[in-house]
Amino acid sequence: MGTKVKLTNVRAAFLDALITAKEYEPGDGKFRYSATFLIDPASENHKKIEAAIQAEAATVWQKKAVATLESIRGNTNKFCYQKGDLKDYDGFEGMMYVAAHRKQNDGRALLLDSIADPETGKPARLLDAAGKWVPGKEGRIYAGCYVNATIEIYAQAGANGGMRCGLMGVQFYRDGDSFSGASRGKEDDFEAVEAPEEAMDDLS
């Protein structure tokens, strides 16, 4: 077990394996779900992640904790929390980022809306029991939006050791510009209109 961290109002990126698990390396058979979250280094989110990293390192590596952390920071294969400035990606400049993963066998991460389910009073689920989008919720969480998320920071000992991050749950928080570079349309930008009579004639 690691240290659970709740992230608040963070931007989400690389969500192509959030709904459908993908192989870590093509052909390796190691399917997993994943998501990346951008963290402001001046935020409470950053402090919580760093505190979890220090706690896990002390528990697993004990007297070697400080030296081990120094040796693996900056190594994307061994350390889950990295500087965004090292990546040439939209929105990463000046930020930290944490890459979270979840094995397919452990099941998909919990995905929730910011709106309460009227029947339960709890945040509404975005996926049904079959793993399909609930009608009307398609694409509610997308790369570039802001979310709340629960992750688990844990230290892994051994030959493939490192500081890892497990993906637990993601909740839509608010809209943001899509990382595709395109802004999302809004229903309020449009009004209902009736088709011109000429167009109706063409359909008859």
DSSP assignment, residue 72?
H
DSSP assignment, residue 127?
B
CA-nearest of 147, 28, 170, 41 to 97 is: 41
Q: Write down the pTM of the prediction.
A: 0.85
pLDDT at 197: 58
Q: Are 107 and 101 spatial neighbours (Cβ–Cβ below 8 Å)?
A: no
Mean pLDDT on 13-38: 93
Q: Which domain covers residue 39, as residue numbers? A: 3-203
Q: Write out pLDDT tens, residues 26-49.
A: 888 999 999 999 999 999 999 999
Lowest mean pLDDT among 30-39, 61-70, 116-125, 174-183: 174-183
Q: Write out pLDDT tens, residues 136-175.
A: 999 999 999 999 999 999 999 988 899 999 999 999 999 9
Mean pLDDT on 84-107: 95
Query: Is 80 exceeded by the pLDDT of residue 190?
Result: no
User: Across all residues in the chain, what is the average pLDDT?
Assistant: 90
Domains in the chain, number: 1
pLDDT at 180: 62
CATH number at residue 20: 2.40.50.140
The alpha carbon dihedral of 192, 197, 198, 199 has a sign of positive
